[in-house]
A and B are shown apart, each in its own frame.
Chain A
Amino acid sequence: MTGTLKKNRTQLITLAALAFLLVTAAQGLETKDWVITVLRGLSVGMVTFLVASGLSLIFGLMDVLNLAHGEMFMLGAYVGWTVFVRPDTFVDILAPLLLLFVGFILTPLWRALLARVRFSGRAAQLWPWMAAIIAFIILGLTLVSFPITKWDPEVYAESPITFSLALDQGNLALPEPKPFEAAPIIAILGTLAGSSLLASAFAGFGQRKQTGRMSQHIPRGPVITAVILLILALAAFWGNDALTEWLINIGTTGRFFLAMGVATVAGFVIGGVMETTMIRPLYDRPMYQLMITLGISFIIIEVVRAIWGRPEFTMPKAALFSGRGDACPAESIGDLIANQCSTVILFDGRIRTYNEIFIILVGLIVLIAVGLLLRRTRIGMIIRAGVQDSEMVEALGINVRQVFTFVFALGVALASLGGVLAAPSIGLSSVMGGQFLLLALIALAIGGLTSFPGAAAGAILVGLIQQFIIKYGQIGINIPFLDEPFKPSPPLVPASVVLLMVIILLVLPNGLFGRSE
Chain B
Amino acid sequence: MQTAISPKQNSTKAWLKDNGGMIGLLIFLAAFPFIVALFEGQPFTEVLANETGNAKFLQGLLIEVFILAIYAISYDLILGITGLLSFGHAMFFAAGAYFTGIAFKNYELGIGATLVGIVVLGIVQAILFGIVLPRVKGITFALVTLGMASMFHIIIQASELAEWTGADVGLQGVTTPDLINTSTERFRLYLITLMVTFLVYLVYRRFVDSPTGRVCVAIRENEDRALMLGYNTFHFKLAALILSSITAALAGFFHTVHQPIVSPNVAGLGWTVAALLIILMGGVGTLSGAMVGAAVFRLLEFFLDKQFGENANFLLGVIYVLLVLFLPFGIVGTWRAKRFRTQS
Is the CB–CB distance between A509 and B140 below 8 Å?
Answer: yes
Residue B14 interfacial (CB < 8 Å): no
Q: How far is the CA of A438 from the CA of B154 in the complex (A)?
A: 14
B residues less than 8 Å from A296 (CB atoms): 317, 321
C-beta contact mask, A488-517 vs B, less than 8 Å → 1, else 0? Answer: 010110110011011001100111000001
Is the CB–CB distance between A291 and B320 below 8 Å?
Answer: yes
Is the CB–CB distance between A298 and B147 below 8 Å?
Answer: no
Residue A114 interfacial (CB < 8 Å): no
B residues less than 8 Å from A234 (CB atoms): none
Is the CB–CB distance between B313 and A505 below 8 Å?
Answer: no
Contact of A302 among B159, B273, B276, B311 (CB under 8 A): B311
Residue A288 interfacial (CB < 8 Å): yes
Contact of A445 among B143, B284, B329 (CB under 8 A): B143
Contact of A301 among B135, B140, B313 (CB under 8 A): B313
A residues less than 8 Å from B136 (CB atoms): 505-506, 509
> Known: A285-B328, A445-B140. Is A499-B314 also a contact (CB below 8 A)?
no
Is the CB–CB distance between B139 and A499 below 8 Å?
Answer: no
Which residues, 119 to 169 on B, are CB-close (under 8 Å) to A?
Answer: 132, 135-137, 139-140, 143-144, 146-148, 150-151, 154-155, 157-159
Is the CB–CB distance between A302 and B154 below 8 Å?
Answer: no
> Known: A302-B314, A445-B143, A506-B144. Is A295-B155 also a contact (CB below 8 A)?
no
Residue A141 interfacial (CB < 8 Å): no
Is the CB–CB distance between B143 and A292 below 8 Å?
Answer: no
> Known: A288-B280, A288-B328, A295-B324. Is A441-B314 also a contact (CB below 8 A)?
no
Is the CB–CB distance between A489 and B159 below 8 Å?
Answer: yes
Is the CB–CB distance between B314 and A303 below 8 Å?
Answer: yes
Q: How far is the CA of A462 from the CA of B227 in the complex (A)?
A: 37
Chain B interface size range: 35 or more
Q: Most chain-B CB neighbours within 10 Å: which of A449, A501, A502, A510?
A: A502
C-beta contact mask, A428-443 vs B, less than 8 Å → 1, else 0? Answer: 0000000000100110
Is the CB–CB distance between B139 and A299 below 8 Å?
Answer: no
Is the CB–CB distance between A291 and B154 below 8 Å?
Answer: no
Contact of A495 among B151, B273, B316, B320 (CB under 8 A): B151
Contact of A295 among B144, B151, B159, B318 (CB under 8 A): B318
* A462 smallest CB distance to B (angstroms): 12
Q: Most chain-B CB neighbours within 10 Å: which of A282, A285, A302, A501?
A: A302
CB nearest to A505 among chain B residues: B144
> Known: A281-B325, A288-B324, A301-B313. Is A502-B144 also a contact (CB below 8 A)?
yes
Is the CB–CB distance between B321 and A499 below 8 Å?
Answer: no
* B207 smallest CB distance to A (angstroms): 21
Residue A328 interfacial (CB < 8 Å): no
Is the CB–CB distance between B324 and A292 below 8 Å?
Answer: yes
Is the CB–CB distance between A491 and B158 below 8 Å?
Answer: yes
A residues less than 8 Å from B135 (CB atoms): 506, 509
Residue B238 interfacial (CB < 8 Å): no
Q: How far is the CA of A489 from the CA of B161 in the complex (A)?
A: 13
CB nearest to B318 among chain A residues: A299
> Known: A296-B317, A502-B148. Is A491-B140 also a contact (CB below 8 A)?
no
C-beta contact mask, B300-325 vs A, less than 8 Å → 1, else 0? Answer: 00000000001101101111110111
Which residues, 269 to 321 on A, are CB-close (under 8 Å) to B?
Answer: 278, 281-282, 285, 287-288, 290-292, 294-299, 301-303, 305-306
Q: How far is the CA of A16 from the CA of B316 in the complex (A)?
A: 48
Residue B277 interfacial (CB < 8 Å): yes
Q: Most chain-B CB neighbours within 10 Å: which of A287, A296, A297, A299?
A: A287
Q: Most chain-B CB neighbours within 10 Å: which of A297, A299, A306?
A: A299
Is the CB–CB distance between B140 and A449 below 8 Å?
Answer: yes
Q: How far is the CA of A296 from the CA of B158 in the complex (A)?
A: 33
Is the CB–CB distance between B316 and A498 below 8 Å?
Answer: no
* B36 smallest CB distance to A (angstroms): 32
Is the CB–CB distance between A298 and B313 below 8 Å?
Answer: yes
Residue A29 interfacial (CB < 8 Å): no
Q: Most chain-A CB neighbours within 10 Å: which of B137, B277, B324, B325?
A: B324
B residues less than 8 Å from A491 (CB atoms): 154, 157-159
Q: How far is the CA of A179 from the CA of B144 in the complex (A)?
A: 57
Is the CB–CB distance between A291 and B317 below 8 Å?
Answer: no
A residues less than 8 Å from B148 (CB atoms): 502
Q: How far is the CA of A170 from the CA of B323 in the complex (A)?
A: 49
Is the CB–CB distance between A494 and B317 below 8 Å?
Answer: no
Contact of B147 among A294, A449, A492, A499 (CB under 8 A): A499
Residue A248 interfacial (CB < 8 Å): no
Contact of B314 among A65, A306, A498, A510 (CB under 8 A): A306
A residues less than 8 Å from B147 (CB atoms): 442, 498-499, 501-502, 505
CB nearest to A511 among chain B residues: B140
Q: How far is the CA of A290 from the CA of B79 in the complex (A)?
A: 13
> Known: A302-B311, A509-B140. Is A292-B155 also a contact (CB below 8 A)?
no
A residues less than 8 Å from B157 (CB atoms): 491
Q: How far is the CA of A299 from the CA of B314 in the complex (A)?
A: 5
Q: Most chain-A CB neighbours within 10 Å: which of B140, B154, B316, B323?
A: B140
* A488 smallest CB distance to B (angstroms): 11
B residues less than 8 Å from A449 (CB atoms): 139-140
Which residues, 323 to 340 on B, are CB-close (under 8 Å) to A?
Answer: 323-325, 328-329
CB nearest to B168 among chain A residues: A491
CB nearest to B320 among chain A residues: A295
* A477 smallest CB distance to B (angstroms): 17
Is the CB–CB distance between B284 and A287 below 8 Å?
Answer: yes
Q: Most chain-B CB neighbours within 10 Å: which of A296, A441, A489, A511?
A: A441
Is the CB–CB distance between A502 and B151 below 8 Å?
Answer: yes
* B170 smallest CB distance to A (angstroms): 14
CB nearest to B142 among chain A residues: A65
A residues less than 8 Å from B146 (CB atoms): 441
Q: How far is the CA of A77 from the CA of B318 in the complex (A)?
A: 23
A residues less than 8 Å from B144 (CB atoms): 445, 501-502, 505-506
B residues less than 8 Å from A301 (CB atoms): 313
CB nearest to A490 among chain B residues: B159
A residues less than 8 Å from B269 (CB atoms): 438
Q: How far is the CA of A491 from the CA of B161 in the complex (A)?
A: 13
* B292 smallest CB distance to A (angstroms): 15
Is the CB–CB distance between A295 and B317 below 8 Å?
Answer: yes
Contact of B151 among A292, A498, A517 (CB under 8 A): A498
Is the CB–CB distance between A292 and B140 below 8 Å?
Answer: no
Q: How far is the CA of A207 from the CA of B323 in the complex (A)?
A: 23
B residues less than 8 Å from A297 (CB atoms): 317
CB-based closest 9 A-B pairs: A298-B317, A295-B320, A302-B314, A299-B317, A502-B147, A295-B321, A445-B143, A495-B154, A291-B280
- Chosen A-B contacts, 18 in total, with CB atoms closer than 8 Å, are A288-B324, A288-B328, A291-B320, A292-B325, A295-B317, A302-B314, A442-B147, A445-B140, A491-B154, A492-B158, A494-B150, A495-B150, A495-B151, A498-B151, A505-B136, A505-B143, A505-B147, A506-B136
Q: A291-B320, A491-B154, A509-B136 are in contact. List 12 more A-B contacts (CB 8 A).
A: A65-B139, A281-B325, A287-B280, A295-B316, A298-B317, A438-B150, A495-B151, A502-B144, A502-B147, A502-B151, A505-B147, A506-B136
